Amino acid sequence: MTFKKTNISLGVALATLTMAGALVSPQALAANSAERTAQAANRKAEMLEAQLQAMQGEIAALRAQVNSTAPTTAVDSQKVQELDQWMTSVKSEPVKAKTKDNMVFFRGGYAHFNNVRGGTLDPTNLGAASNPNGLIVGPITDKDAWYFGAGFDFSLDDNLWGLMDGTEVLAELGVNYTQLATNKPNGLSPQEAGAVGLPPANSQTATVNMATVSAAPKVKFLKGSAFRPWLIPVGFELNVISPPSNAITVLTPGMVFGVGADYKIWKNLYVGADVRYHYAPGDVDGVRINALNAGGYLGIGF
């Protein structure tokens, strides 16, 4: 009986302990789990804090770098803006067709001399008080003439060497032939030649004319447009007269001044008009060649 009570007591105690252990173990396990979770959270917080500190350091370094390079960045930004403005202006400009700046031209028109051209002297009538060198045979009283010629324009600069936009500088080389409208005997008449016993070899008529070779700078305005006015401030020319002077001189230098304009009528084909004044100081042994030319020309660009 006693043994049975003891066994019962032991069983009850064991069951009590078992139930107590069962009740205590979840709490212990829960406590351990909460501790581990807290420790993990602490570690994560420490890691986040370290990462935040690292990021703050990087941000501070970037701010310092930006502050140190701010002037350079501003300059670069200004350059970029200038390039953008330049590109915008270039795109907004109208497309200009490429032009042929050089030109070959052919001209002709009317000429008027300031003075009459005298004929040759009559050597059979020497010693006259009014003309000790002899009398003039066949004086030429006509001052009007006609001319034709040709030349080249060579482009040298597009903007007057930076002084004026759209103003072109060219070099003009030309040759011109001028002929007076009246022909007169050159030398003795047949009657005069017979009177002095000379053959009438000089009784032929002479064409009174003049050949001119010139070189001049030409300033041409409104580059790129169809209508182009121009001027020649002063140029050099060399004149050959025929018949020669009384002293058999045929060559004389001079100057040329001119204004004109041309218009592009189709592709590289131009028409134009000009007025030129030819001036030679003094005379060529009694022959003056100052004259005014006015006419038109046809030009071909190349």
CATH number of the domain that residue 286 is part of: 2.40.160.20
The pLDDT of residue 6 is: 46
The pLDDT of residue 48 is: 74
- Check whether residue 170 and residue 268 sit in a common domain: yes
Give the residues across from 255 on adjacent strands. Answer: 236, 279
- Check whether residue 37 and residue 137 sit in a common domain: no
**84 inside domain:** no
The pLDDT of residue 217 is: 97
Query: What are the residue ranges in the chain where pLDDT is below 50?
Result: 1-7, 12, 17, 20, 22-24, 26, 28-31
**86 inside domain:** no
Give the residues across from 236 on adjacent strands. Answer: 215, 255
The pLDDT of residue 2 is: 45
The pLDDT of residue 45 is: 75
The per-residue pLDDT for range 61-74, each reduced to its tens digit, is 766 765 665 555 56
**20 inside domain:** yes
- Check whether residue 152 and residue 249 sit in a common domain: yes
- Check whether residue 291 and residue 146 sit in a common domain: yes
- Check whether residue 148 and residue 251 sit in a common domain: yes
- Check whether residue 273 and residue 171 sit in a common domain: yes
The pLDDT of residue 24 is: 47
- Check whether residue 185 and residue 250 sit in a common domain: yes
Query: 74, 90, 121: which is the final residue of a domain?
Result: 74
- Check whether residue 51 and residue 174 sit in a common domain: no
- Check whether residue 115 and residue 199 sit in a common domain: yes
Query: 74, 94, 128: which is the final residue of a domain?
Result: 74
Structural domain including 134 reads 103-301
The per-residue pLDDT for range 195-252, each reduced to its tens digit, is 656 555 555 566 788 999 999 999 999 998 999 999 999 999 999 988 777 677 888 8
The pLDDT of residue 263 is: 96
Query: 53, 74, 95: which is the final residue of a domain?
Result: 74
- Check whether residue 123 and residue 161 sit in a common domain: yes
- Check whether residue 164 and residue 216 sit in a common domain: yes
The pLDDT of residue 61 is: 74
pTM above 0.75, yes or no: no
What are 26-35's contacts with CB under 8 Å, separation 24+?
none
**178 inside domain:** yes
Number of structural domains (the chain) is 2
- Check whether residue 68 and residue 107 sit in a common domain: no
Residue 298 CA, chain-centre distance (Å), reads 24
**80 inside domain:** no
The pLDDT of residue 151 is: 97
**83 inside domain:** no
**79 inside domain:** no
**286 inside domain:** yes
